């Protein structure tokens, strides 16, 4: 590991000022991804700004009186605190399930909500500094494009990068229409939809998202949920713990009798960002909640997938995972 300057931030503005003052500085939250990247020589920060000692509250209700109006997740809240919070378990069960499907108990106790969104891809070529990788070293090429691309994207990739976003939590947040709150040195607060926050690789795969250097994530806002009664997070992986998703699906149904009045489907392990399955959602809205309709919607969603040599299996796996998540959401709690 290379030498770096360490600063323990005492206030939010001082952390942002310190971050903005040096393009080679990085925020240190739980450190569960950043420190691994530093050990592998992928990240070489000159300065780390430790924000873990700033005061925070894991989950705050935004309700006023009896009105249901959502919750605010603190960026510094730990993944485990968030997943186990009563409000999250009762109102946003797919989020709780998604977080608990990730990593291990020890890592979730360290990892923060903000850091989870900003964790880097697990593409093995990105981690191996001897290999070409446009995300790590722009212009060097993409080792995965013609390499072993079993874990890689089937939607939204470019010939510059076919990596997937590794977060489980972000998939559920995408389905729930979460917004990311970010603050910059001038004190400006931005509220970004997931579409505005995450990006596809295009010609600049080195950028995972649309934050500017100096932006600090302060929180994640969730609108009131209508999916608490019928939601499910399905994760398919090579082993049942400590493994990233091959394909995952966050599904939520709002039912009027047997009819689907609203539906959310988001996928992980298939794109550079959490992938909203808008084709499937559109097909299901207004239809009856039946297994046949779930399967038809899943097939239609995956019809647009463009796989690579070693990940063609993700098409059938994606179809099955969408249908499974919707079926389990329908039967949730029964
Ligand atoms: C063995 C292992 C298995 C794992 N398995 C899974 C899995 O199955 N599913 C899954 O979803 N995840 C998994 N993870 C990843 C884990 O969830 C992430 O490492 C963790 O969520 C990152 O959070 P952190 O607080 O530790 O981030 P850090 O490592 O501290 O930071 C990550 C990045 O975010 C930046 N950052 C952090 N907070 C902020 C902020 N508030 N504002 C601006 N920038 C910030 C940092 O500068 C850094 O660039 C696994 C990790 C390991 C080590
Ligand atoms: S897929 Fe992206 S992260 Fe992986 S080698 Fe190619 S450019 Fe790098």
pLDDT in tens, 49-103: 999 999 988 898 887 665 668 999 999 999 999 999 999 999 999 999 999 999 9
Please tell me the number of the ligand nearest to residue 123's CA. 2
For residue range 267-305, list pLDDT tens digits in order.
Answer: 999 999 999 999 999 999 999 999 999 999 999 999 999
Q: How far is the CA of 93 from the centre of ligand 2 (A)?
A: 33
Q: Which domains can be identified in the chain, with CATH numbers? A: 5-51 (3.30.43.10), 231-330 (3.30.390.50)
Q: Where are the beta strands (DSSP E) in 69-187?
A: 71-74, 179-183
Cβ–ligand 1 distance for 103 under 6 Å, the answer yes
Q: Which residue's C-alpha comes closest to atom 8 of ligand 1?
A: 102
* Ramachandran category for residue 103: left, alpha or beta (phi over 0 → left; psi -120 to 50 → alpha): left
Write down the pLDDT at residue 317. Answer: 98
| Helices 313-330 & 291-302 angle (0-180, nearest 10) | 150
Cβ–ligand 1 distance for 31 under 6 Å, the answer yes
Cα–Cα distance, 218 to 192 (Å, whole number): 12
Q: How far is the CA of 177 from the centre of ligand 2 (A)?
A: 28
Write down the pLDDT at residue 67. Answer: 60
The CA-atom distances, in angstroms, between 96 and each of 17, 83, 92, 164, 250 are 33, 4, 7, 22, 11
Cβ–ligand 1 distance for 225 under 6 Å, the answer no
Q: How far is the CA of 124 from the centre of ligand 2 (A)?
A: 8
Write down the pLDDT at residue 142. Answer: 98
Cα–Cα distance, 40 to 65 (Å, whole number): 50
Ligand 2, residue 125: give the atom nearest the CA: 5
14 burial level (CB within 10 Å; 0-12, 13-18, 19+): middle
Whole-model pTM? 0.98
Please tell me the number of the ligand nearest to residue 56's CA. 1
The residues of the chain scoring below 70 in pLDDT are 1, 64-68
Write down the pLDDT at residue 57. Answer: 83
Please tell me the number of the ligand nearest to residue 240's CA. 1
101 burial level (CB within 10 Å; 0-12, 13-18, 19+): buried
Cβ–ligand 1 distance for 119 under 6 Å, the answer yes
Residues framing ligand 2 (Cβ under 6 A): 121, 123, 125-126, 133-135, 142-144, 161-163, 205
User: In the 8-state DSSP scheme, what is residue 200?
Assistant: -
Q: Ligand 1: which of 95, 103, 104, 151 to mutate, most ligand atoms within 8 Å of CB?
A: 103
Cα–Cα distance, 24 to 45 (Å, whole number): 5
Cα Rg for the chain, rounded, in angstroms?
A: 20
Cα–Cα distance, 70 to 224 (Å, whole number): 4
Counted residue by residue, the chain has a size of 334
User: Which residues are registered as beta bridge partners of 251?
Assistant: 232, 265
Ligand 1, residue 211: give the atom nearest the CA: 43
Write down the pLDDT at residue 66. Answer: 58
**HSE-CB for 118 with a 13 A CA cutoff:** 28
Write down the pLDDT at residue 65. Answer: 62
């Amino acid at each position: 590991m290379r030498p770096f300057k360490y600063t323990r931030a005492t206030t939010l503005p001082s952390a942002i000022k310190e971050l903005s003052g040096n393009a080679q500085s990085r925020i240190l939250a739980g450190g569960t991804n950043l420190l691994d990247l530093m050990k592998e020589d992928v990240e070489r920060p000159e300065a780390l700004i430790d924000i873990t000692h700033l005061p925070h509250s894991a989950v705050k209700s935004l309700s006023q009186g009896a009105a249901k109006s959502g919750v605010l997740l603190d960026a510094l809240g730990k993944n485990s605190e968030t997943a186990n919070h009563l409000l999250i378990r009762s109102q946003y069960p797919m989020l709780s399930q998604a977080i608990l499907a990730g990593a291990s108990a020890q890592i979730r106790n360290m990892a923060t909500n903000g850091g989870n969104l900003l964790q880097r891809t697990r593409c093995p070529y990105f981690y191996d500094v001897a290999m070409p990788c446009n995300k790590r070293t722009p212009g060097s090429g993409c080792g995965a494009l013609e390499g072993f691309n079993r874990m890689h994207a089937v939607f939204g990739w470019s010939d510059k990068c076919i990596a997937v976003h590794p977060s489980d939590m972000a998939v559920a947040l995408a389905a729930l229409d979460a917004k990311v709150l970010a603050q910059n040195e001038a004190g400006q607060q931005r509220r970004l939809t997931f579409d505005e926050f995450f990006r596809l690789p295009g010609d600049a795969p080195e950028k995972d998202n649309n934050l500017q250097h100096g932006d600090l994530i302060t929180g994640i806002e969730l609108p009131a949920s209508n999916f608490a009664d019928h939601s499910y997070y399905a994760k398919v992986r090579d082993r049942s713990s400590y493994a990233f998703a091959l394909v995952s699906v966050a599904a939520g149904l709002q039912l009027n009798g047997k009819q689907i009045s609203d539906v959310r489907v988001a996928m992980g392990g298939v794109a550079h960002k959490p992938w909203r399955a808008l084709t499937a959602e559109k097909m299901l809205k207004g239809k009856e909640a039946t297994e046949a309709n779930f399967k038809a919607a899943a097939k239609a969603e995956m019809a647009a997938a463009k796989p690579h040599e070693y990940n063609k299996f993700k098409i059938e796996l994606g179809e099955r995972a969408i249908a499974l998540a919707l079926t389990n959401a329908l039967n949730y709690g029964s």
